[in-house]
């Protein structure tokens, strides 16, 4: 029953995020009446949401007073760099798209236009800002693994950089680093604004266009980032991009891939396996790829040293030299 009604969790969590319930709880509103008033919702609505959140383990109740759990406090209060509240709202809006899954399963892919392959798709505008919070801790881990803070005057190429979150983290840690981001023009416009707000905008160049065809350069960069992109691409596309990334790197440089990666026998991890269905719905050639797929493509592209780094999130990092 819990699995069959799984969409209740997405709906309850997305609605609570849309009403800023976690933010109001954090600020001290502790009763349904107080929350209803601050959120501008009906008292009956506030009670139903709170009941659902208690059931989901995101909120606790004692003597009629409600509080965020430590997880809700860390990840669902708005306006914190690692807040997933925007992502919870976004995913609630994606629920209806699952109605097309039976058709996609029958056809082996999307029956209408594939979302990820449409240039300048408004889908990205909501998505890149909502997923930035997920990328923040991963970007910090990669920075630590590569010693980026103390690496001096390095150049970073971010392929499909989205909100610019990796540049924001890495250039924030290293005042001498510079970055180039390739993405569609409307997304680069969002990144420009966010990077300026983070005080690093003057060190990032934006190249508008399709990363399948935009020139990556020849030994121009010390780090190439490919974050949350490999899953939308097919094997040939990933291998071709890794080959161009290898050419773009200076001697000793590193390609960083960040993605949901399946075990070689496709027996886990659960998040990566489930995400394959998302790519079936939204892309013609994407999937969650296995560690051995990455190894094969990277080796064919000329990388000799390939390391996988697990992170506390569903994301795995691949560091290739
Ligand atoms: C899932 S988002 C990842 C954003 C960012 N790398 C991150 O991890 O937060 C995918 C990004 O790739 C961009 N993108 C997808 N296909 C592209 C293409 N063919 N050419 C340029 N950018 C593309 C999208 O606009 C979006 O910003």
What's the gap in Å between 183 CA and the centre of ligand 1? 6
Cβ neighbors of 20 (< 8 A, separation 6 or more) are 39, 78, 85
Atom of ligand 1 nearest to the CA of 138: 8
Q: How far apart are CA 167 and CA 242, in angstroms?
A: 20
What's the gap in Å between 286 CA and the centre of ligand 1? 13
| DSSP state for residue 34 in the 8-state scheme | H
Read off φ and ψ for residue 160, nearest 5 degrees.
65, 50
- For the chain, first and last CA: distance in Å? 47
Digit-coded pLDDT (tens) for 6-16: 999 999 999 99
Q: Nearest C-alpha to atom 9 of ligand 1 is from which residue? A: 132
Atom of ligand 1 nearest to the CA of 158: 6
| DSSP state for residue 208 in the 8-state scheme | E
Q: How far apart are CA 211 and CA 229, in angstroms?
A: 11
Per the listing, tokens 């939308």 go with: 232
Q: How far apart are CA 130 and CA 228, in angstroms?
A: 13
Q: What is the pLDDT of residue 245?
A: 98
Q: What is the pLDDT of residue 119?
A: 75
Residues with CB under 6 A from ligand 1: 124, 127-128, 131-132, 135, 160-163, 165, 182-184, 187, 210-212, 227-229
Q: Nearest C-alpha to atom 27 of ligand 1 is from which residue? A: 162
Among 116, 138, 162, name the best residue to mutate to test ligand 1's pocket (greatest count of ligand atoms within 8 A of Cβ): 162
174, 154 Cβ separation under 8 angstroms:
yes
* pLDDT at residue 296 greater than cutoff 70: yes
Q: What is the pLDDT of residue 121?
A: 77
Exposure letters 152-173 (e unless 16+ CB within 10 A, then b): eebbbbbbbbbbbbbbbbbbbb
Q: How far apart are CA 169 and CA 174, in angstroms?
A: 9
Digit-coded pLDDT (tens) for 207-255: 999 999 999 999 999 999 999 999 999 999 999 999 999 999 999 999 9
What's the gap in Å between 31 CA and the centre of ligand 1? 41
What's the gap in Å between 264 CA and the centre of ligand 1? 26
What's the gap in Å between 71 CA and the centre of ligand 1? 28
Structure tokens given for 290: 């296995």
Q: 30: pLDDT confidence band, cut at 50, 70 and 90?
A: very high
State the chain's mean pLDDT as an integer: 95
Q: What is the pLDDT of residue 114?
A: 67
* pLDDT at residue 152 greater than cutoff 70: yes
What's the gap in Å between 112 CA and the centre of ligand 1? 20
Question: Dihedral sign, CA of 118, 122, 125, 130?
Answer: negative
Q: For the chain, list the domains and their CATH numbers.
A: 7-78 (1.10.10.10), 97-320 (3.40.50.150)
- pTM for the whole structure: 0.94
């Amino acid at each position: 029953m819990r699995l069959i009604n799984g969409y209740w969790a997405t709906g309850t969590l997305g609605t609570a995020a849309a009403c800023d319930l976690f933010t109001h709880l954090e600020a001290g509103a502790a009763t349904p009446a107080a929350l209803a008033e601050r959120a501008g919702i009906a008292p009956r609505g506030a009670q139903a949401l709170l009941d659902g959140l208690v059931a989901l383990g995101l909120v606790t109740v004692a003597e009629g007073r409600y509080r965020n759990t430590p997880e809700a406090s860390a990840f669902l209060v708005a306006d914190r760099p690692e807040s997933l509240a925007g992502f919870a709202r976004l995913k609630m809006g994606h629920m209806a798209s699952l109605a097309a899954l039976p058709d996609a399963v029958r056809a082996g892919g999307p029956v209408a236009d594939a979302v990820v392959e449409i240039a300048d798709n408004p889908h990205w505008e909501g998505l890149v800002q909502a997923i930035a919070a997920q990328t923040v801790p991963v970007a910090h881990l990669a920075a630590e693994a590569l010693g980026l803070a103390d690496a001096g005057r390095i150049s970073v190429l971010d392929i499909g950089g989205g909100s610019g979150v990796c540049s924001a983290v890495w250039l924030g840690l290293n005042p001498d680093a510079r970055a180039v981001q390739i993405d569609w023009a409307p997304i680069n416009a969002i990144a420009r604004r966010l990077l300026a707000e983070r005080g690093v905008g003057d060190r990032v160049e934006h190249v508008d266009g399709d990363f399948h065809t935009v020139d990556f350069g020849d030994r121009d960069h010390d780090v190439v980032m490919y974050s949350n992109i490999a899953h939308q691409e097919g094997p040939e596309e990933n291998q071709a991009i890794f080959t161009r990334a290898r050419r773009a790197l200076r001697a000793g440089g590193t390609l960083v891939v960040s993605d949901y990666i399946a075990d070689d026998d496709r027996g886990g991890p659960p998040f990566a396996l489930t995400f394959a269905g998302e790519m079936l719905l939204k892309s013609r050639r994407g999937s969650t790829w296995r560690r051995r797929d990455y190894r094969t493509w990277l080796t064919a592209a000329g990388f000799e040293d390939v390391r996988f780094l697990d992170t506390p999130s569903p994301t795995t990092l691949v560091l290739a030299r």
